[in-house]
């Protein structure tokens, strides 16, 4: 009771505020998403994501050295697949000499201690731009899961530390876990996109990979933004099926979901600060409407306060520089 208790006493000096701070962002929290392209000496800027590029494997090696020097411990890989390699069944996703598989091997050769996480979904490989096999306008669940399991196996055999299914097909975590176990890859982790919402924040990402759906939308498999309890149901099922880390995507507009999951599970939680969130801050900062670094760090802190252990963010390098 005032005046015996004065809350401002603990806010008087920076050192005191830091001493009683409940949450902190550190470099170990950050995962950097990377976009990989074919070719050599390719550093293709993504117009809607200033500061982000599609990199060829030779330039990826240079990027990895810079990332390592900043103290970033993990990368999340996405590949831009040539249109001529796309089909309805994602055949190229299983190619042991495919771009993703070569990217994993490149990273493990260049920076063996880097934690490599790979995106497992068909949309970059699909001629329809969907996360599953299409038949008569319908996204088929079980045939897609079979391909995803083999795709995850291929990534793990290439050296991926974690596979990250982002497709939202039912049962895919159990199928992937079973496939990995039966193949003796018991140490390969699964970071499941457990609560991935149908969102309008994904636009710049789809530009980066040229993976927008060719018809319709993704509402029959991604979650409805109106739903909260469903996120917990999805997450608990993924954990039961063998997920080691669970993810909420997008991040900033779904902090309540992160908190709900944190209050109910003990596994690590990742938040994905998606391309639209990144692009909005970049655009506002370019206009002089927001102070870029301050808002960036406030957003990252919000993920930690909500309960996230890990943050996938395109700001990872910028944040790491500030945290150094």
Cα–Cα distance, 30 to 235 (Å, whole number): 21
Q: How far apart are the first and last CA of the chain?
A: 40
> Cβ(123)–Cβ(129) under 8 Å?
yes
Measured torsion, CA atoms of residues 258, 210, 90, 184, in degrees rounded to the nearest 10: -50
Cα–Cα distance, 152 to 182 (Å, whole number): 13
**For residue 155, what is the DSSP state?**
H
Select from 237, 238, 270 the least CA-distant residue to 254: 270
Residue 250: cis peptide before it, omega within 30 degrees of 0: yes
Cα–Cα distance, 219 to 53 (Å, whole number): 29
- 3-state helix, strand, coil split of the chain in percent (to 5) is 45, 20, 35
Tell me whether strands 138-140 and 133-135 are parallel, antiparallel or unpaired.
antiparallel
For the annotated catalytic residues, the residue numbers are 196, 249
Phi, psi (5° rounding) for residue 171? Answer: 80, 5
HSE toward the beta carbon, residue 119, CA cutoff 13 A: 25
Hey, is 45 helix, strand or coil? Answer: strand
Give the position of tokens 């990995």. Answer: 180
Cα–Cα distance, 280 to 253 (Å, whole number): 13
Select from 177, 200, 150, 159 the least CA-distant residue to 77: 159
């Amino acid at each position: 009771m005032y005046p015996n208790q004065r809350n401002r006493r603990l806010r008087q000096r920076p050192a005191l505020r830091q001493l009683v701070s409940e949450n902190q962002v550190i470099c170990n929290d950050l995962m950097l998403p990377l976009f990989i392209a074919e070719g050599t000496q390719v550093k293709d800027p993504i117009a809607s994501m200033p500061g982000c590029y599609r990199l060829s494997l030779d330039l990826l090696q240079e990027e990895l050295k810079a990332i390592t020097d900043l103290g970033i411990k993990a990368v999340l890989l996405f590949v831009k697949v040539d249109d001529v390699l796309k089909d309805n069944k994602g055949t190229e996703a299983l190619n042991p000499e495919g771009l993703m598989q070569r990217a994993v091997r490149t990273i493990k050769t260049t920076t063996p201690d880097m934690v490599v996480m790979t995106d497992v979904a068909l949309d970059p490989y699909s001629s329809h731009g969907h996360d599953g096999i299409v038949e008569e306008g319908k996204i088929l669940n079980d045939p897609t899961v079979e391909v995803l399991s083999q795709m995850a196996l291929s990534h793990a055999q290439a050296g991926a530390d974690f596979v990250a299914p982002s497709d939202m097909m039912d049962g895919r975590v159990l199928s992937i876990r079973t496939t990995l176990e039966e193949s003796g890859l018991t140490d390969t982790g699964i970071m499941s996109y457990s609560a991935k919402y149908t969102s309008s924040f994904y636009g710049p990402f789809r530009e980066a990979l040229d993976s927008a759906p060719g018809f319709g939308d993704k509402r029959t498999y991604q979650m409805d933004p109106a739903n909260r309890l469903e996120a917990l149901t999805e997450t608990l099922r993924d954990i039961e099926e063998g997920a080691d880390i669970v993810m909420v995507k997008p991040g900033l507009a779904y902090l309540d979901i992160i908190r709900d999951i944190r209050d109910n599970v003990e596994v690590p939680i990742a938040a994905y600060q998606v391309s639209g969130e990144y692009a909005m801050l970049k655009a506002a900062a370019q206009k002089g409407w927001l102070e870029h670094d301050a808002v960036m760090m406030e957003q990252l802190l919000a993920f930690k306060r909500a309960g996230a252990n890990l943050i996938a963010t395109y700001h990872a390098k910028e944040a790491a520089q500030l945290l150094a």
